[in-house]
């Protein structure tokens, strides 16, 4: 913060300006989604992640992007015809998805994010720096996009013919 006479100015890093410009709807813009109904669940949860990145709160951003990803995992489970689980943890989701018709590559991707990023983030002694938060953001946005494509495949109606 700089003070000149009676006027005060807040000086932010260059990252703040870039992130603020994208914080309003990061999932929609990053995924270039054209179906408005898709934007709702992940964008509502991912917008706080964008704001946390904009204000340089990387650990908070990690929590929010993990929450957004979990929301889409639950939608993927529903699209695969899997019942809701009593145990809400990513390991349980992965075990159930492995028994479904979901592409094994997506299940493995979810498991990797769980093991390498999400589970360590939950521990209070762990925190993210900005580069780690941006990596997690990027990985989760890619995973969310893959899950949406898989939901399309799973819910696609067979062609009707004569």
pLDDT attached to residue 34: 45
Q: What pLDDT shows up at residue 27?
A: 47
3 state DSSP class of 3 = strand
Contact 42, 144 (CB under 8 A): yes
- The pLDDT assigned to 161 comes to 55
pLDDT recorded at residue 49: 86
pLDDT of residue 129: 95
Contact 144, 71 (CB under 8 A): no
Q: Which run of H or E residues covers position 95?
A: helix 90-98
32: left (phi over 0), alpha (psi -120 to 50) or beta: left
Q: What is the mean pLDDT of each run of 10 residues along the chain (162 residues)?
A: 54 49 46 48 65 92 94 96 92 96 97 95 92 94 94 79 52
Instruction: Note whether 155 and 78 are within 8 A (CB).
Output: no
Q: How far is CA 27 from CA 56, 101, 149, in A?
A: 18, 26, 14
Alpha helices in the chain (DSSP H): 14-22, 26-31, 36-54, 58-79, 90-98, 104-113, 119-122, 130-155
């Amino acid at each position: 913060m700089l003070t000149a006479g009676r006027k005060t100015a807040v000086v932010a890093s260059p990252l703040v300006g870039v992130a603020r410009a994208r914080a309003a709807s990061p999932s929609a813009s990053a995924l270039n989604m054209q179906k408005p109904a898709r934007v709702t669940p992940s964008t509502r949860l991912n917008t706080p992640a964008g704001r946390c990145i904009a204000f340089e709160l990387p650990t908070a951003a990690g929590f929010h992007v993990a929450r957004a990803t979990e929301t889409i995992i639950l939608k993927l489970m529903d699209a695969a015809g899997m019942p809701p689980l009593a145990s809400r943890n990513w390991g349980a989701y992965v075990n159930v998805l492995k028994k479904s018709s979901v592409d094994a590559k997506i299940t493995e991707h979810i498991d990797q994010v769980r093991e390498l990023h999400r589970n360590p983030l939950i521990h209070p002694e762990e925190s993210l720096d900005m580069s780690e938060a941006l990596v997690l953001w990027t990985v989760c946005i890619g995973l969310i996009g893959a899950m949406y494509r898989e939901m399309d495949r799973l819910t696609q109606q067979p062609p009707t013919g004569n």
